[in-house]
Amino acid sequence: MNVAELLRGVATLSWVAAFVIIALAVVRATRGTALRGASTIVIAVIVAALVLTSVSAGLVFIQPEERGIVISAIEPGGYREQALPPGLHWIVPFAESVVRYPISRQTYTMSIAPTEGQISGDDSVFSRTADGQEVLIDASVIFAIDPDKIIQVHIAWQDRYANDFVRPLARGIIRDEAAQYGVEEIVTSQRLELITGIIERMTQRLADNGLLLEEFVLRNITFSPEYAASVEQKQIAEQRAQEAALTVEQRRQEAEQARQVAQGQADAQVIAAQGRAESRLIEAEAEAEALGLIADAIRENPAIITYEYIQRLAPGIQVMLVPNDNPFLLPLPGLEAPSTGTTQTP
């Protein structure tokens, strides 16, 4: 509680005390017993009440978030040219009064929701886009009174600046800016550009009338039922197209995977066949080389054939017959003509 309010309270109590004393004196007088010094007490209390009332009427305390405009009956223009800053001030009692204005941020909301805006019911901004579509725009304007131009605001608008100036100005600018874009641009690529255009125009217009734009909020954009239905159908079609494309891509990947598996199997078979062919070639080359070595050995020592022949005979043979002209070994068939005579050897 500030000093001015305290003095007003004391002045009010003084007037109450004066009336109580007067009433008590009247009651005592009707009963034939006068109240001693009642008139003096009443006069003193009334004088004190008048003094306190005058002093309290001249003291004004301005809060930090306020500015005060002094309406004066003794000033030539009817008001003081300087607004009262925060703090305790003195004005001429009963000849001057103070009108308080907030300089803190204020919000004016226009919404399609019945309970969200300053006006009950649907207060969204109706606009028609460049391509003829109807849209409903929800928006909030956050603004403040310029402390240096508060007297200008009072003269031009008094306390009607929010409803009679901010609201119609914001609605008109939003309609004008929205009409420059197509409906799809407003909700996609050009949304930020739309907001920027609204802020630039509104900032200048508010400043010309003593107000400061703190922030503009584009809350929501609602389409007409027909356009909303078409957008929904379009989204469904796009979603189905994406699903079909995803299915095609999945099938393509599966086919590619099968092709790669088949290619891998074919490559493995080719590699195995090449390995077998190379193995056979190496074996053939080894056999040819071995035969060449054997042929060379036979040419150098023909008895090797007879030796190998004997080595390959069964180990269980105890007796064998040989020609009589060859007392020890049996020559290979076809190398010499056999004789008729035989010799038995152990």
List Cβ neighbours of 2 (8 Å cut-off, separation of 6 or more): 61, 88
Q: Which of 27-36, 282-291, 314-323 has the lowest mean pLDDT?
A: 314-323
Amino acid at 115: T
Residue 249 pLDDT exceeds 80: yes
Residue 39 pLDDT exceeds 80: no
Q: Is 79 exposed, middle or buried (0-12, 13-18, 19+ CB in 10 A)?
A: middle
pLDDT 10s digits, 190-236: 889 999 999 999 999 999 999 999 999 999 888 877 776 666 566 66
Provide the pLDDT for residue 35: 59
User: Taking the model in full, what pTM does it have?
Assistant: 0.59
Q: What is the mean pLDDT of residues 108-114?
A: 90
Most confident of 8-17, 144-153, 287-296, 325-334: 144-153
List Cβ neighbours of 182 (8 Å cut-off, separation of 6 or more): 129, 130, 131, 133
- Measured from the Cβ of residue 42, the count of other Cβ atoms closer than 10 Å reads 19
Domain-wise residue ranges, the chain:
3-102, 106-223, 233-331
Provide the pLDDT for residue 94: 85
List Cβ neighbours of 173 (8 Å cut-off, separation of 6 or more): 198, 201, 202, 205
Residue 130 pLDDT exceeds 50: yes
Q: Which CATH class is domain 106-223?
A: alpha beta
Query: At which residue do the structure tokens 């226009």 appear?
Result: 110
Amino acid at 234: K
Mean of per-residue pLDDT scores for the chain: 81
